[in-house]
Amino acid sequence: MKRAIYPGSFDPVTFGHEDMILRSAAIVDELYVAVLNNSSKNPLFSVDERVSMLRELTRDIPNVVVTSFDGLLIDYMKEIDANIIVRGLRAVTDFEYELQIAEINRVESPTVETIFLTASPNLSYLSSSIVREFALYGGDISKLVPEQFVERIYAKYDIKKRGAKN
Ligand code: PNS
């Protein structure tokens, strides 16, 4: 049984995350999509909100389980008995950070492997922080996130629809 984990902040989930989830779920037996509960950040969406958005998004993918975790990823992986980490690489700028995390995780937990999927080219510019920045100023985020989340994201900034701030 190949059980993998796709960890992240998902604040908010984007088309880039959706692409990673679809592609990695197709190559492992079971994929845990795990939201990091990071108390030191000031998130846009609560962990519960992010978990429910991801559940909504993945409800038709039978081998995907959405959860949250805090503490070290490798400790959580022992809990759920997973030994593969999936991460996305968009551009060379992601590489150094991702390499560092992959190496420290492997040093601390030698049975853990990290696999990287390169982002689909049309999504390689996309990040949650770009979505937040765009939404903050009333930009059009409909090409960046699944449609059902657009209004929820604007609502966080008190924007009812594109360009119409309260
Ligand atoms: O979506 P993100 O914010 O780039 O995801 C980063 C994440 C969640 C993969 C990483 O921060 C993480 O694994 N955090 C949990 C704590 C941990 O295990 N850190 C590993 C090395 S210090």
CATH of the domain at 74: 3.40.50.620
The reported pLDDT for the residue numbered 41 is 77
The reported pLDDT for the residue numbered 164 is 46
Determine the atom of ligand 1 nearest the C-alpha atom of 36: 8
Whole-number Å distance, alpha carbon 50 to ligand 1 midpoint, is: 16
d(CA 58, CA 85): 18
Residue 28, in any domain of the structure: yes
Residue of 24, 50, 87, 90 with catalytic role? 90
- The pTM score is 0.95
The reported pLDDT for the residue numbered 161 is 57
Residue 156, in any domain of the structure: no
Residue 161, in any domain of the structure: no
Residue 139, in any domain of the structure: no
The mean predicted confidence, pLDDT, of the chain is 94
Segment 14-42, tens digit of pLDDT: 999 999 999 999 999 999 999 999 877 79
Smallest Cα–Cα separation from 82: which of 60, 65, 94? 65
Average pLDDT along the chain, 166 residues, taken 10 residues at a time: 97 98 98 92 94 98 98 98 97 94 97 96 95 95 97 89 49
Q: Which residues contact 80 (CB under 8 A, 6 or more apart)?
A: 3, 5, 32, 67
Q: Which residues contact 128 (CB under 8 A, 6 or more apart)?
A: 9, 10, 11, 12, 13, 14
| 128 counts as catalytic | yes
Task: Give the chain's domain count.
Answer: 1
Residue 20, in any domain of the structure: yes
Whole-number Å distance, alpha carbon 41 to ligand 1 midpoint, is: 12
The reported pLDDT for the residue numbered 141 is 97
Nearest residue (by CA) to ligand 1, atom 19, is: 72
Residue of 41, 59, 78, 161 with catalytic role? 41
- Alpha carbon of 165 to those of 36, 130, 139: distances in Å? 30, 19, 11
| 152 counts as catalytic | no
Residue 126, in any domain of the structure: no
The owner of tokens 């040093």 is: 107
The reported pLDDT for the residue numbered 166 is 45
Residue 138, in any domain of the structure: no
Domain that holds residue 82: 3-121
Q: Which residues line ligand 1 (CB under 6 A)?
A: 7-9, 36, 72-73, 101, 104
